[in-house]
Structure 1
C-alpha cells in the first residue's frame, strides 16, 4: 500500500456522530432504531444535496460533524453540553470498536489490533463520557444493541468507500486496519475527528481522570 492510500483511508473514515443520540434518549428498541434510521436518511439526503461531487462518506461526515456542532451549541448549560458530547462520543466509539470489527469479521478479517489500539487511544474520553451519562458496561452494550442496524449500515457504506478510494476489494480494505493500525489510530483520536465534541466532553474534568480510572 502506497502512502497516498493511507491518507485516503484516514480521510474517508466515517464518524457517525449523530445517530446515537436517540439510543441515549429513548431506551425503546423500536423508537430508537426508527428515529436513528430517519436521521441517517436525512444526513444522506443533505449530503447529496450539499456535496454532490464528493464521495458519499466524505459528504456524510461533513454533514454529521456540522449537525453535532450545532446540537452542542444549542445546549443551555455546560452539563447538558457534556452529556450531548458523551452521546456523540459513544457513537464514534462504538462504531469503531464494535460495528467495524463485526463487519470485517464477517468478511474473514479480524481487525482486533486496530480495535485494541483505538480503545487505548480514546480511553480517557471513554471514562469521561461514561461518567457524564452515569453508564455502566451493560448500559453501553444495550445502547449498541439499540442502534446496531444503523451503525452496521453506516460501516458498510464507509468500508465500500474506503475500498473504492484505494482501488481495493472491501475485504482488502478491512485488512488495511490490521496492517496499518497504528497509523490509522494515531489520526483517529476524538480531539482530531471532532474538536468541538472533545472540548465539550473534557472541559473542566481533566483533573478528575485519575478518580474516574479508579472507579471504572
Structure 2
C-alpha cells in the first residue's frame, strides 16, 4: 500500500512540481497491507510511511514540502473517499457514513491541500482540476482498495461485501483512526502549519 500511496503522491506532485518527486512510476497494487487482529476498527498498517516522510524531508524548500504533503494527502483522501466508496458499491455495500465521517475528520487538511494546489497551478498552463487528478490515479487507487479489502476479508474470514460493511458499521471509529493526524502526522503538520512547524 505504501508503494501505492507513493505512486499516487508522485503522480499528483508531478503535475504540481517541475519534475517527478517519486521513483515509483507505476502504482503497485500488489503491495502488502497488514491488517492487525483486534477490535473491529483496526486500520491497515502502512509499514513504510517513513519512506513517504523521507520524501517530504528531502524536499528542497518549505513550499515544495507543503505541495508534496498535499499530494500525499490527496492520495490517501482519494482512496478513502472515492475509490473505497466505488469499490464497495460494486460489492453491494454502502459506505457513505464512513466517507462522510472521513471527509469531516479531514476537512481542514482538505481545504489547505486544495488551496495549495489551486494557488500553485495559477503559475502553470492548466488550472488545478481535482476531477482530472482523480481520473489519473483512479485505477491504481481502486486496485489498492481492492487489495486491502481482500486482506481485511481474509484476515477476518468474511466476504468482500462484509469487509466493506465493516467501514460503515463503525464509521466514526474508522474515520477517527484513519484521519491524517493519526496516520500521517508530518503531512498534517506541513499542511496546517504555514511554517511547517
Q: SS at 1:146's partner residue?
A: helix
Question: 2:24, 2:130 → 1: CA distance?
Answer: 16
C-alpha distance after superposition, 1:30-78 (max 9, x if no partner): xx9xx8662527x83xxxxxxxxxxx21398212x12211100111211
Pair 1:17 & 2:2 matched: no
* Structure 1: gaps spanning 5 or more residues: 1-13, 45-55, 207-216
Deviation at 1:24, TM superposition (A): 3.6
For 2:61 and 2:175, locate their aligned partners in 1 and report how far apart those are by CA, in whole Å: 32
Query: Does residue 160 of structure 1 match 2:124?
Result: no
TM-score, structure 2 length as denominator?
0.78
Question: Does residue 107 in structure 1 map to residue 129 in structure 2?
Answer: no
Name 1:140's counterpart in structure 2: 130
* Mapped partners of 1:121, 1:179: distance in 2: 17
Give the Å deviation of 1:17: 3.0
Q: Which structure features the higher share of helix residues? A: 1
The partner residue of 1:121 within 96, 105, 115 is 105
> What is the distance in 1 between the residues matched to 2:52 and 2:33?
16
Query: What's the offset of the Cα at 1:183?
Result: 1.1
Q: Mean alpha-carbon deviation: is it higher for 74-83 or for 131-140?
A: 131-140
**Structure 1-normalised TM-score?**
0.72
Corresponding residue to 2:165 among 167, 175, 184: 175
Tell whether 2:171 aligns with 1:188.
Answer: no
- The match for 1:85 among 69, 76, 99 is 69
Identify unmatched segments of 5+ residues in structure 2: 35-43, 122-126
Query: Over aligned residues, Cα RMSD in angstroms?
Result: 2.7
* 1:61-72 alignment runs, 5 A limit: 61-63=46-48, 65-72=49-56
What's the secondary structure of 1:109's corresponding residue?
coil
